[in-house]
Amino acid sequence: MTRKIDFIFLSNSSWYIWNFRRNLIDEIIKNKYSILVVAPIDSYSDLLISKGCKFINWNLKRSSINPIKEVISIIDIYKIYKKYKPKIIHQFTIKSCFYGSLIARIINKSYVVNSITGLGHIFLTKNFKNYLLKNLLLPFYQFSLSYKNSTLIFQNQSDFKTYKNLSLIKENDNKVIRGSGVNTNYFSKKEEIKKNNKEPIILFPARIIKEKGIVELLKACTNLWNNNKIFKLKIVGNFDKGNRSFLTKKEIVSLISHPNRVDFLGHIKNMREIYLDSDIVVLPSWREGISMSLLEAGSMECPIITTNVPGCRDIVENGISGLLVPKEDPEALELALDFLIKNKAFGKYLGKNIRKKIIKNFDQEVIIKQTMEIYKKGILINEKSNIYN
């Protein structure tokens, strides 16, 4: 007998669900609903099971465009959705939303919530190959996302407008919920920490891929070091081989002129202590949905430098709650870093302002409440639909 499942969460990694949606899972379970997580198995899968989720491995390669492998991934979803027929299917990340919505249209039993967490590599990287691929895929995207019993959640207005301009969505069926929320009680300084650092610490908290701006940051830091500026750069993030803008460690090391001033810390599960020990947090990303690392750092009152792009400027107001620089501009990044290193008092002012903004707009309780309202609507529609089937 198939176990009753109320919710299915579909994602391109267990890591994503654990890091960005585990508090939402807690709320769902607290309301006596059951959840099945469908994602490629990784080191976070067991953590999701320990929370009370059922788990099924999804045969998916994030960066693959191999037609045979992609068809196999879609067939996997079809089998799972047909077997469990949950009340709500919540899909995260680009491939999950498009493939899952396509299958949901065929089965037509569940209410679908799609969380659009950015635009993806095809939209971000402008070359002829991606131009052709984007135009080839657009009709399939339009078909899959037009499923009537669904809601699309965007993390920022820019992504919403882009999808609307591409005729991928209808305005009435969608909402903007800014990110997955941050625990502002946990990510809090609570008291002033006396640092024993002899030199400032600059933190880059992101995966090591081109689209996070790591190359621009290293160029900016190199110029500062060459001009006798003293600081340490800490890089917290993995080398993401599953991403098409992946950089090897050899490529990164070749950009570092002062290796004794750079620490590679890898992925760290608990970032609070790292933020406490950092003087400036830098994320020169090309585009985000809503950056969780900026939310966490801002909640910790860290002075932030980031780019004037969607998902970053939604959090930081230039000169008020952080500094914004143009994307892919190492010279502007260099000037901003130099300014904040010299002006610690102004950095503290920025940090206090951004924490106030995050408590008001991005606290996890605010985001969870907005998401649960969509679920309630979907459950009601699902139950009415099943009455007449």
Are 46 and 147 part of one and the same domain?
A: yes
Distances (CA, A) of 251 to 181, 209, 256, 364: 34, 11, 9, 37
pTM, two decimal places: 0.86
Query: Tokens standing for 18?
Result: 């654990």
Helix (H) / strand (E) element for 153: namely strand 150-154
Q: Radius of gyration (Cα) for the chain, nearest Å? A: 21
| β-bridge mates for residue 35, sequence order | 7
pLDDT of residue 16: 93
Helix (H) / strand (E) element for 96: namely helix 94-107
Separation between Cα atoms, residue 202 and residue 194, nearest integer Å: 17
Is position 250 within any domain? yes
Is position 194 within any domain? no
Tens digits of residue pLDDT in 244-272 = 777 888 888 888 889 999 999 998 988 99
Tens digits of residue pLDDT in 140-158 = 778 878 788 889 999 988 8
Q: What is the pLDDT of the chain when averaged over all its residues?
A: 89
Are 218 and 172 part of one and the same domain?
A: no
Nearest Cα residue to 220 out of 315, 301, 307:
307
Domain that holds residue 150: 7-181+364-388
Are 243 and 283 part of one and the same domain?
A: yes
pLDDT band at 123 (very low <50, low <70, confident <90, very high): low
State how many domains the chain has.
Answer: 2
Tens digits of residue pLDDT in 12-50 = 999 999 999 999 999 999 999 999 999 999 999 999 999
Asked if 111 and 90 count as a contact pair (C-beta separation under 8 A), the reply is no
Separation between Cα atoms, residue 6 and residue 25, nearest integer Å: 12
Are 167 and 22 part of one and the same domain?
A: yes
Are 40 and 147 part of one and the same domain?
A: yes
Asked if 100 and 86 count as a contact pair (C-beta separation under 8 A), the reply is no
User: What single letter denotes the amino acid at residue 202?
Assistant: I
User: How many CB atoms are closer than 10 A to CB 194?
Assistant: 5
Chain centroid to CA 258: 31
Dihedral of the CA atoms 371, 377, 378, 382 (nearest 10)? 160
Are 15 and 158 part of one and the same domain?
A: yes
Are 18 and 156 part of one and the same domain?
A: yes
